[in-house]
């Protein structure tokens, strides 16, 4: 019998290490020599961590337990491991199990199923067979043609055809070429790449091997953000194991071809998600973009032909080679084939990862896989594509998740982050948040991005502080278009997207802030006032808890808040037992 504990970053943050220690302690105490304890990555249900799977001696899954904190371990040990009876109290709910079963997993095929630190488990699942197939009997052209048949598009942003990038690097002459994995995942709320690297690092290495062979590279580089220590640790282990097996290094797979991979830990600059800025960082320079052309496929790392793909793109490659491009293209739509991994975050009930076929309506992802909105509040919008994307409103909830359909809304699929918002989210403040992020992350190389994002942010801050002026909306629109057209790289060119989409779909909220000095979502503190209603019983709790003594009134009589003295801390509302305080 085998106990497998999910130990991705989300599981560890939820207490999986303590759960593991308690299982080991009790198994040793009870002398259960037939039971082993193992680890795996995240299966995607981050909201249910720590997750514990129990497998029988025949390798079949007997039970999946969720939210197994250390105080629940004893019951599972006594009931299941000793008594042979499944502990139904901690089992995964049927609805959540059905959601998992309903996904089509290609990128996440091994996440939550294998120990990412044991190469033998990856090999057992068919790992490295695709690389061996390529190196033993396929030409580079045939590999690229298979990727073309699959229709695989880059999963890191704009969805550029992968085969085209590979072919461009292959056709550029050079004795030295490089293939780079972009694992510099920087979008707020995005954690797809991290989960794949933590749960199935060998799938990315195999994708790099195949891609390196296709373009004629001799070296692969994984550029991963330093804030992902667990991903780096497991990648390092995977690289060492692959070299020991002869899958990396000299004469790999006895093919006569030399290829190796190394890790470069980045400093966490969002702009390094842009290809030329990433290359500059690899070369030891400050991460700043370069003018294109020449493109990286022509002159990239050290001016040599270079191909750059993100983690999810590369994790698809081995599956495509093993199963055929047509099998991949059978999922999704004609122009957006395959599956896509999404990270659900924000005001959604079931936050985590989901891999679904492209073309599924947003509604199915948010309300099906994501379980709907927390506290059953009204769905308002979803931000797709991170700071480079845009807000999609509730009236467009039936939009299919394809590159073309999402682009029509003004957003982008991007790397797959979905920040879900409800009725309590102020869209002006949301635009301000993302502009603040891109302004800080701007490398400052070009004036439009360095100064333009600052000016736009100043206007948004003024509006959310209740100091908006007539003409601010028009000025935001003008600045957005100028920054979009004049910025040098993708960071600046897409920075105005959150503003433009919120102005397009939620212009009334901007007008409310500027002309009526109200925040419809009751989110912007400067525009709020606290009032005590007739429901007040005069208990004096609110007055006693007010830190600035802005509340007055006699015992058993309705109290009053001095709105000029009030600092809007919310202490009065927290302490009131009669729901007698409202925000206007």
pLDDT by residue for the chain (584 residues), tens digit each?
999 999 999 999 999 999 999 999 999 999 999 999 999 999 999 999 999 999 999 999 999 999 999 999 999 999 999 999 999 999 999 999 999 998 999 999 999 999 999 999 999 999 999 999 999 999 999 999 999 999 999 998 778 999 999 999 999 988 899 999 999 988 888 899 999 999 999 999 999 999 999 999 999 999 999 999 999 999 999 999 999 999 999 999 999 999 999 999 998 788 998 999 999 999 999 999 998 999 999 999 999 999 999 999 999 999 999 999 999 999 999 999 999 999 999 999 999 999 999 999 999 999 999 999 999 999 999 999 888 899 999 999 999 999 999 999 999 998 889 999 999 999 999 999 999 999 999 999 999 999 999 999 999 999 999 999 999 999 999 999 999 999 999 899 999 999 999 999 999 999 999 999 999 998 898 898 899 999 999 999 999 999 999 999 999 999 999 988 999 888 999 999 999 999 88
Residue 320: what pLDDT?
A: 98
Q: What is the pLDDT of residue 123?
A: 98
> What burial class does residue 145 get, using C-beta atoms within 10 Å of its C-beta: 0-12 exposed, 13-18 middle, 19+ buried?
middle
Reading the block at residue 310, the tokens are 């993100």
Going by C-alpha positions, the residue among 314, 310, 261, 323 that lies closest to residue 126 is 323
Report whether 389 contacts 414 (CB < 8 A).
yes
Report yes or no: 48 and 66 within 8 Å, Cβ to Cβ: yes
pLDDT at 157: 76
H or E element, residue 325: helix 325-329
Taking CA 336 as the corner, what is the angle to CA 330 and CA 342, rounded to the nearest 5 degrees?
A: 100
Are 215 and 175 in contact by the 8 Å Cβ rule? The answer is no
Question: In this structure, are residues 340 and 405 in contact, taking their beta carbons and an 8 Å threshold?
Answer: no
Q: If you search the block for the tokens 């033993």, which residue do you land on? A: 136
Which of 106, 125, 118 minimizes the C-alpha distance to 4?
118
Report pTM: 0.92
User: Where are any strands of DSSP class E within 152-297?
Assistant: 178-183, 219-225, 260-266
Neighbouring CB atoms inside 10 A of 42's CB total 27
Contacts of 10 (CB under 8 A, 6+ apart): 42, 46, 49, 191, 195, 352
Residues 193, 118 contacting (CB under 8 angstroms): no
H or E stretch covering 307? strand 306-310
Q: Residue 117: what pLDDT?
A: 97
Helix-strand-coil percent breakdown of the chain, rounded to 5?
45, 15, 40
**Which residues is 55 bridged to in the sheet?**
2, 61
In angstroms, the Cα distances linking 58 to 62, 91, 530 are 10, 21, 63
Alpha carbon distance 184, 222 (integer Å): 9
Q: Could you give the 3-state DSSP secondary structure of residue 383?
A: strand
Tokens coding 500: 């433009």
Q: How far apart are CA 449 and CA 469, in angstroms?
A: 23
Give pLDDT, residue 398. Answer: 96
The pair phi, psi for residue 131, each rounded to 5°, is -65, -40
Element (H, E) at 384: strand 379-384
End-to-end CA distance of the chain: 59
CA distance linking residue 307 with residue 301, whole number of Å: 9
111: which DSSP letter? T
- Please check whether residue 555 is in contact with residue 538, taking contact to mean a CB–CB distance below 8 angstroms: yes
List phi, psi (to 5°) of 248: -135, 150
Q: Residues 6 or more apart from 550 whose CB is under 8 A from it?
A: 561, 562, 565, 566, 567
Residue 187 tokens read as 């979008």
Q: Classify each residue of 421-438 as buried b or exposed e, where b means 16 or more C-beta atoms within 10 Å of its C-beta.
A: bbeebbbbbbbbbbbebb
Alpha-carbon gap, residue 209 to 141, rounded angstroms: 15
432 with 499: CB under 8 angstroms? no
């Amino acid at each position: 019998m085998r106990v497998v504990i999910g130990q991705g970053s989300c599981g560890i943050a939820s207490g999986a290490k303590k759960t593991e220690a308690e299982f080991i302690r009790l198994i040793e105490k009870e002398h259960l020599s037939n039971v082993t304890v193992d680890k795996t990555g995240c299966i995607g249900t981050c909201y249910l961590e720590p997750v514990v799977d129990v497998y029988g001696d025949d390798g079949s899954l007997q039970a999946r337990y969720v939210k197994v904190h250390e105080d629940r371990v004893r019951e599972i040990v006594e009931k299941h491991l000793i008594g042979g009876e499944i502990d139904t109290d901690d089992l995964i709910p049927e609805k959540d199990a059905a959601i998992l079963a309903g996904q089509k997993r290609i990128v996440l095929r091994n996440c939550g199923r294998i120990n990412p630190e044991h190469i033998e488990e990856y090999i057992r699942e068919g790992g490295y067979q695709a690389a061996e197939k390529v190196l033993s009997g396929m030409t580079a052209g045939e590999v690229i043609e298979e990727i073309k048949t699959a229709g695989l598009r880059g999963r890191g942003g704009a969805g550029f055809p992968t085969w085209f990038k590979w072919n461009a690097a292959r056709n550029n002459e050079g004795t030295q070429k490089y293939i780079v994995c972009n694992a510099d995942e920087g979008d707020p709320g995005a954690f797809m790449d991290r989960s794949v690297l933590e749960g199935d690092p060998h799938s990315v290495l195999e994708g790099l091997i195949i891609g390196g062979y296709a373009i004629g590279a001799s070296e692969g580089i994984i550029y991963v953000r330093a804030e992902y220590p667990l991903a780096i640790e497991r990648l390092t282990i995977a690289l060492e194991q692959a070299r020991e097996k002869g899958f990396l290094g000299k004469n790999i797979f006895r093919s006569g071809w030399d290829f190796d991979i190394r890790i470069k830990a980045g400093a966490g600059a969002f702009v390094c998600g842009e290809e030329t800025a990433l290359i500059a960082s690899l070369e030891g320079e400050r991460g700043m973009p370069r003018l294109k052309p020449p493109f990286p496929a022509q002159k990239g790392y050290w001016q040599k032909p270079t191909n750059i793909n993100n983690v999810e793109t590369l994790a698809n490659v081995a599956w495509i080679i093993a199963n055929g491009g047509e099998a991949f293209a059978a999922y999704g739509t004609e122009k957006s084939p395959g599956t896509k991994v999404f990270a659900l975050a924000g005001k959604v009930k079931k936050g985590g990862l989901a891999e679904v076929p492209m073309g599924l309506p947003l509604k199915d992802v948010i309300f099906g896989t994501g379980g709907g909105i927390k506290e059953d509040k009204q769905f308002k919008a979803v931000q797709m594509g991170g700071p480079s994307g845009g807000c999609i409103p509730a009236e467009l909830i039936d939009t299919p998740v394809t590159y073309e359909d999402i682009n029509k809304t003004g957003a982008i699929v991007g790397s797959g982050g979905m920040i879900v918002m409800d009725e309590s989210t102020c869209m002006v403040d949301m635009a301000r948040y993302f502009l603040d992020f891109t302004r800080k992350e701007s490398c400052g190389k070009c004036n439009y991005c360095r100064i333009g994002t600052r000016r736009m942010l100043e206007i948004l801050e003024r509006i959310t502080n209740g100091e908006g002026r007539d003409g601010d909306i028009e000025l935001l629109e003008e600045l957005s278009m100028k920054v979009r057209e004049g910025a040098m790289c993708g960071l600046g060119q897409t920075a105005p997207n959150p503003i433009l989409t919120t102005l397009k779909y939620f212009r009334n909220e901007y007008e409310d802030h500027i002309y009526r000095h109200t925040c419809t979502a009751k989110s912007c503190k400067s525009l709020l006032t606290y009032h005590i209603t007739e429901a007040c019983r005069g208990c004096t709790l609110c007055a006693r808890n007010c830190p600035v003594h802005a509340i007055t009134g006699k015992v058993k009589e309705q109290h009053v808040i001095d709105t000029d003295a009030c600092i809007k801390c919310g202490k009065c509302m927290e302490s009131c037992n009669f729901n007698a305080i409202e925000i206007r």
